[in-house]
Amino acid sequence: MIRKRLTKVNDLILNLNEEELRLLNQQIIERLKIIDRAKGIVGVSKFNLGDQVSFRHHGERMVGKIIRLNQKTVSIILDNGQEWRVAPDFLRKIVEK
């Protein structure tokens, strides 16, 4: 199914002139930006302010508390006072038992 769709898209692209290709390129870039923003929102939405989290930096486990949720990153303050911005994919929530 995907291969068939890509063949149709390729056939259409081959018939576009330069201006049409540039417009198509802009539309594709905008669509990719929207997809990227959506991924960031989904990743960040797994966390809340105040959550204890950990991540690895050069093999060392870093532990801190979330102080800000940004569009694509999470701001964390470590126990030593350092602030880090980390992509949510690298974070693990620490669940207290």
- Cβ 22 vs Cβ 56: under 8 Å: no
- Cα–Cα distance measured from residue 92 to residue 80, given in angstroms and rounded to the nearest whole number: 19
pLDDT of residue 37: 76
Cβ of 83: how many Cβ atoms within 10 Å? 11
Cα within 13 Å of Cα(50), Cβ side: 1
- Residue pLDDT, tens place only, 1-48: 788 888 888 989 999 999 999 999 999 999 998 888 777 666 677 889
- Residue pLDDT, tens place only, 69-94: 987 889 999 989 999 999 988 999 99
pLDDT of residue 27: 95
Q: What angle do CA 43, 49, 55 make, to 5 degrees?
A: 55
